[in-house]
Structure 1
Amino acid sequence: MGKLLPKIISGGNYTDDRGQLEFFNEFDMSPIKRVYFTTHFDTDVIRAWQGHTIESRWFICVNGSFTVKLVEIDDWEHPSDDLKVYEYELSAEKQEILYIPNGFVNGFKALEANAKLMILSNYGFNEIENDQIRFDQNKWTKWDKN
């Protein structure tokens, strides 16, 4: 089995006179152990770069929109400066889940004030010791403030 790569898991919606139903019928939630949310009150906040050698995550935008960037780490102690940056835009208007496999760092920035991400993890809080690794926010890309 090859290395897992980030991917978008598409959902859908159905609308009738009673309202709208949004769904992710193709999303297997069996590995999920934890769910939490992060809200960015303004578009100046940048959360980058943090990642996990063991834990995987799934991002769902539930309000507003975000730019999310991912980098696959080649060496956790001394990563290369020229690694490929994967870029995604997540929006609450779309039914999409971004899968981030272990081995990647992520960075994200709200494109609208009060944007909110739901983050799912396949490990419980503090279940794995020393698995969160951080790097300078400008190591692989520059982040626009607006």
Structure 2
Amino acid sequence: MNISDAEIISAPKSYDGELSYSEKTNNRAFQVISFRPEDEMGITLPGVTIEICLRTPLVIDECKYTFTIFRLKGQKRERIYQLEVVPSEKKSHNGPPKTYGPHVHIGDSVQEVNIDLCCEDYQDWLAWFCEQVNLTLTYEPPSPFGNKDGLQLAND
């Protein structure tokens, strides 16, 4: 059965395991959570992976989070949906189109995301991503703020 990217994005998905960050193997400035979502019958979706990645900045205002769905095509992992969160004034995509702030990649298209959230709103960004891709998480990942990496909230 050959399921389209749009069908993967819209299909109900869930993950029932606990989530925790680990260092990205090729860049220690990033923390990553990666898991294989399940369909409504509890069966993992073949070749589909969800990855939550965050850069560990010194202050929260320098955030960079990505929430991504990948699918395996042959031996290559391809991004089919990604929410990238950075401060609204930061150039985040060289284009086309040139984009500042949060944006979404759906296949080859790029769309700005204009909702009233900032870097501090990590859990709300995660919830928005989950809503957009029809994903239910039993456990939320740990907050990236105030953890052992020493991240600080902007108003601390």
When normalised by structure 2's length, the TM-score is 0.24
Would you tell me which structure has more helix in proportion to its own residues?
Answer: 2
Would you tell me which structure has more strand in proportion to its own residues?
Answer: 1
